[in-house]
Amino acid sequence: MTPPADGERALKPGDVVAGRYRLQELIGEGAAALVFRATDEALGRDVAVKVLRAPLATSAAAAERFRDEGRAAAILAHPNVAAVFDVAPEGESPAIVMEFVDGEDLASMLRRVGPLVPRRAAAVAAQVARGLAAAHVRGIIHRDVSSRNILINREGRAQIADFGIAQAMHEVDGSEAAARSGQRPEGSVGYLAPEVLAGSPQSASSDLYGLGVVLFELLTGHRPFDRLSGAELRERRIQSPAPSPRELRPDISPELELITMRLLAPKPNERYVNATAAADALEAYVVQANRTAVPSRPVGPAAGAPRALAGTRVARVAAEAGPGEPEMLPDPSDIGSDDPYPESDTMSLRSTLLAITGVALTALLLVGGVILALRIFAAGTGPDNNVKVPSLTTLTLAEAITIAEGMGLRVQVVERVASSDQPVDTIISQSPGSETLVPLDTVIEVRVVAGSGFVVVPDIRGMSEADGIAALATAKLVRGATFSEYSDTVPAGELIQQNPRPGVQVASGTAVDIVVSLGPEPALSPSPSPSLADWPQVPDLRCSSIADATALLSAIGLTLDAPSALLDPTDLVDTFSPLAGDLVAPGSEITILTTAPTGTVLAGCSP
């Protein structure tokens, strides 16, 4: 293994962060950070610990920015934001302790199930918009809204993660890396707003553009400009509007197309005024598509409205008109100077309009009073308030959560079943049944379609290699790539890790990569180490594909580490460690830190 860079302590399962979070297993790796599942030994709960990688961890500016953004994100308490619990103190590897979300990111889900039905895509995007709204009203900009940074838990709730990671990476790009690769904007390039690509700073409006790209991706399976590359990509992104999702998918309604295109407007002032307005529009579309409720009636500046629950009626109360509050009527005195009617007729018209207005106000007050009384009567006024369970069958999981939470209820998936004629995540049964009176906060248990041909990945960690392969075969999965590494805790021959991880729903026949333990690493041989003259130099891998980089390293006796070897062989290498020109021991492993999709022209690389 490559030794850790100066200033970075290589964390591993069993280590303790901030004096209480014991790392259990590595569950994710990205260009900026490693993610571990850990146990909070003080509270006995699972948490996720995100640790900055080198060279980010060795940059004082990036590490401090990472901690500051973690502290800022910790003030967010919202169902659609992955909660931040703690930040590792200075002196330890920069780490943020977050809520453990048992699920997968949107990018993985799209690879697994493909584009979503329009109403489900809108429901997921609405939840993301609610999370962004909660951040924006506190002055926090995400800066990297992308499908990889949106998590979907097993109940279908969308949660935004990785506040601050893009800024931390940008700190390094602006210092050590800028001289090598040129200044570049913070965030994932495919989701950046045109004004950010042109050099303007990130803003709440640029977060909304990123949300528009995510919505486009949910609807079509592609980002708006995926088929372009290089200079043409940059020029089109800055100067031209995004294509319509209906060009790729004609069944998308004009209403949802309008919402998507407004989020993707080239100019910030042409997008929604804030994330709250975008969420309201998306939720209104979902309600209209489901025909289950009347869209909310926003009044006043919605951006400052407090929101307790994401995507629910409760969340919209602050922006709705209260009981008896009238709709905005035209001002009857607003009559042009070129009015052809004489003054007496004008006065008569005004009197008539005022009379109509009075009657309308009275009617609205009466209707509002009746509705309020019915709600109080139906819900009760004591601590044992009851509500009627809504019908959730035939809805998607995301839609059901939105409706149930609006009534003060919760949804829990108890079983996933195969179906040949129902879309993935469609609810096929529920308990309690619809129209049942239940107390507030009751859990509605639902059975959800897993999709024809989909299976759940079993947990084969700790099994022998043969038993693990047999378990995969029983689950209708196949063995993928096999890797080996030393372990002080897992006996030789047993499985240490697997990818995809346990519990993930994948297509039948999917290959599962495994890591087999070699047992404890043997003691170093007393024979003299080879002289530095025999040590190979790390070649410059930047601009090479993963496949070419693997071959280049193999030719001089070096290899990629296990996580890097799992990367898409067509991706292009951007940054790696150790750096080009460094002398390393024969057989050392090289870590790929950041990559770009094939077709992307990296700064300093020829097309």
Active site residues: 144
Give the tokens for residue 399. Answer: 């839609």
* 599 token code pair: 């077709």
CA separation for the pair 374, 175 (Å, rounded): 63
Handedness of CA 195, 201, 204, 208 (dihedral sign): positive
CA separation, residue 389 to residues 268, 292, 439 (Å): 41, 13, 10
DSSP code of residue 593: E
Could you tell me where the DSSP H helices lie in 106-164? 106-113, 118-136
| CA-wise closest residue to 103 among 131, 124, 85, 76 | 124
**How far is it, in rounded angstroms, from Cα 498 to Cα 490?**
14
CA 23 from centroid of its chain's CA atoms: 23
Q: 495 by DSSP, 3-state: which?
A: strand
Q: If DSSP codes are grouped into helix, strand and coil, which group holds residue 422? A: coil
Tell which residue, 452, 567, 427, has the closest CA to residue 507: 452
Task: Give strand pairing partners of 573.
Answer: 595
Check residue 133 and give left, alpha or beta (phi > 0: left; psi -120 to 50: alpha): alpha
Radius of gyration (C-alpha) of the chain in whole angstroms: 28
Euclidean distance between CA atoms 588 and 2, whole angstroms: 6
Say which DSSP state 534 is in: G
- E strands, 282-343, are none
How far apart, in whole angstroms, are the C-alpha atoms of residue 34 and residue 9? 13
Q: What is the 3-state secondary structure (H, E, C) of 9-69?
A: CCCCCCCEECCCEEEEEEEEECCCEEEEEEEECCCCEEEEEEEECCCCCCCHHHHHHHHHH
Q: Which two tokens stand for residue 326?
A: 């009238």
